[in-house]
Amino acid sequence: MTSRTGFLRSGGWIVIVAMVVTTCAFAYYAARLIRARGSRPVGDGQRAESYGFALEPCLVPRERIVSSGMPRDGLSALVEPATWTLPQLEAAASLYRKLLVPGDRVIGIRLGGQARAYPLRLLVWHEVVNDTLAGVPIAVTYNPLCDSAAVFRRIVAGRSLTFAVSGLLYNSNLLMYDRQPKSRRESLWSQLLFKAVAGPAAADGAVLEVLPINVQTWADWRRDNPETTVLAPDPRLADRYSSDPYTSYFGSDQLRFPVQPLPSPARYALKTPVVALGGPQGWTAFPFPMLASLSGVPAGAPWAGLVRALSCRAGGNTVAVALDRLPPGTGVVYASYFAWFATHHTDTTWMEPAGAP
């Protein structure tokens, strides 16, 4: 009780109020978008059962699947969206003020000789983009609560799936659902577990293939990929892309939803950014601060080969991955420290400095 009182007296109440206001505003925007589409929202913002998903079988603790406060499809996942070339982006600059500035972060992916960037400024309002690049169906996902970015192949068991935002969370992380014909039941999929966690697909043991990506500034991605295309904005949300409803959230280490387990003791602040490289056989996680301060690769470190594919500017908020230096089949995921620990504490090797305990 004393520590909580001290937190409030030291100005913590301002952080709490800001987070509550932000959450309410975000839910208001989502409700407006649903009403504009003329559809009735599914999910009461409180009970997971009200969202209409099959929750059996459930491969994660059922009580930790919680509502985000928004209904199903409260954020509109994009399906085969329009993309722009660089000349088209520049021509649209006068219509979309500050749509994409040099310091903005983007998810960048290269497939089959083609490159495409997905600005986080846009993804914060969609979270899921069902796209096709170089003939490959992909799902580009970003969850602001975990600052987590991952891209998957959408082909599962020979079928091309279309994913959308369920309105539910597990460990404060995005749960997607697969849109199905009326005769089939939909399943819930965890962004950071890379698999179906509830419903028929969970019963089948369905998993997603994680693809290698970069989360870089737009200036860096454009410099390294001069032929890149860019996700075009949804005109219905043009007035919102210039705002970020998560500014106050990233201004503190407070979490909005329950997460278990949390690292204890925590070596880094909970929202410290991490890049993880690996796949089904295990992952290696690299906290940004450690990469920025690394002066050499410790001899015999199990992650020594991977670190040579990473490039970090001291004090920067991005880490670039040299995708062509990765071993074949290596996936790349970005996330906050707390989120990656909660979902992958059993299959991750953490990069540590030489001599660390």
Q: Do residues 53 and 179 share a domain?
A: yes
Q: How far apart are CA 147 and CA 89, in angstroms?
A: 25
Q: Do residues 181 and 313 share a domain?
A: no
Residue 76 counted as domain residue: yes
Q: Do residues 326 and 290 share a domain?
A: yes
**Buried b / exposed e along 4-43 (16+ C-beta atoms within 10 A):** eeeeeeeeeeebeeebeebbeebbebbeebbeeeeeebbb
Q: What is the mean pLDDT of residues 64-75?
A: 97
Confidence of residue 239 (pLDDT cuts 50, 70, 90): confident
300, two tokens: 């015999």
Mean predicted lDDT score pLDDT of the chain: 87
Domain total in the chain = 2
Q: What is the mean pLDDT of residues 294-320?
A: 70
Residue 43 counted as domain residue: no
Look at 258 and 307; give whichever has higher pLDDT. Answer: 258
Minimal CA–CA distance to 228: which of 118, 77, 149? Answer: 118
- Give the residue ranges of DSSP H helices in the chain: 2-7, 13-37, 86-91, 120-123, 200-203, 218-224, 288-293, 304-307, 337-344
Q: Do residues 268 and 340 share a domain?
A: yes
Residue 13 counted as domain residue: no
Q: Is the pLDDT of residue 180 over 80?
A: yes
Q: What is the pLDDT of residue 315?
A: 54
Q: Do residues 175 and 300 share a domain?
A: no
Confidence of residue 98 (pLDDT cuts 50, 70, 90): confident
Q: Do residues 224 and 155 share a domain?
A: yes
Look at 31 and 340; give whichever has higher pLDDT. Answer: 340
12, two tokens: 């913590």
Confidence of residue 296 (pLDDT cuts 50, 70, 90): low
Q: What is the pLDDT of residue 137?
A: 98
Tens of pLDDT, residue by residue over 139-178, are 999 999 999 999 999 999 999 999 999 999 999 999 999 9
Q: Do residues 166 and 231 share a domain?
A: yes
Confidence of residue 4 (pLDDT cuts 50, 70, 90): very low
Q: Which of 16-20, 72-76, 276-280 has the lowest mean pLDDT?
A: 16-20
Q: Which residues pair with 111 in a beta bridge?
A: 114
C-alpha count within 13 angstroms, C-beta hemisphere, residue 294: 25
Q: 139: domain range?
A: 48-235
For the question of whether the overall pTM of this predicted structure is more than 0.85, the answer is yes
**N-to-C CA span, the chain:** 32
Q: What's the angle, vertex CA 148, arms to CA 143 and CA 153, rounded to 5?
A: 90
Q: Do residues 97 and 203 share a domain?
A: yes
Residue 247 counted as domain residue: no
Q: What is the pLDDT of residue 295?
A: 57
Residue 210 counted as domain residue: yes
Tens of pLDDT, residue by residue over 29-50, are 544 444 444 468 899 999 999 9
Please give the single-letter amino acid code of residue 134.
Answer: A
Residue 11 counted as domain residue: no
Inter-residue long-range contacts of 200-208, CB under 8 Å, 24+ positions, other chains counted? 200/54, 201/156, 202/57, 202/58, 202/59, 203/57, 204/157, 206/156, 206/157, 207/156, 207/280, 208/139, 208/152, 208/153, 208/156
Q: Do residues 100 and 230 share a domain?
A: yes
Q: Which residues pair with 67 in a beta bridge?
A: 168
Q: Do residues 191 and 63 share a domain?
A: yes
Q: How far is CA 290 from CA 147, 273, 312, 330, 352, in A?
A: 18, 11, 10, 21, 7
113: CB partners within 8 A, 6+ apart: 134
Minimal CA–CA distance to 335: which of 301, 287, 299, 292? Answer: 287
Tell me the torsion sign for CA atoms 222, 225, 227, 230: negative
Q: What is the mean pLDDT of residues 295-316?
A: 67
Q: What is the mean pLDDT of residues 108-134?
A: 97
Confidence of residue 8 (pLDDT cuts 50, 70, 90): very low
Structural contact between residues 284 and 326, judged by C-beta atoms closer than 8 angstroms: no
Q: Is the pLDDT of residue 353 over 90?
A: no
Confidence of residue 15 (pLDDT cuts 50, 70, 90): very low
Residue 158 counted as domain residue: yes
Q: How far apart are CA 110 and CA 229, in angstroms?
A: 11
Q: Is the pLDDT of residue 190 over 90?
A: yes
Q: Do residues 197 and 296 share a domain?
A: no
Q: Do residues 216 and 328 share a domain?
A: no
Residue 199 counted as domain residue: yes
Percent with pLDDT over 90 in the chain: 68
- Structural domain ending residue among the three candidates 218, 235, 252: 235
Q: What is the mean pLDDT of residues 187-214?
A: 97
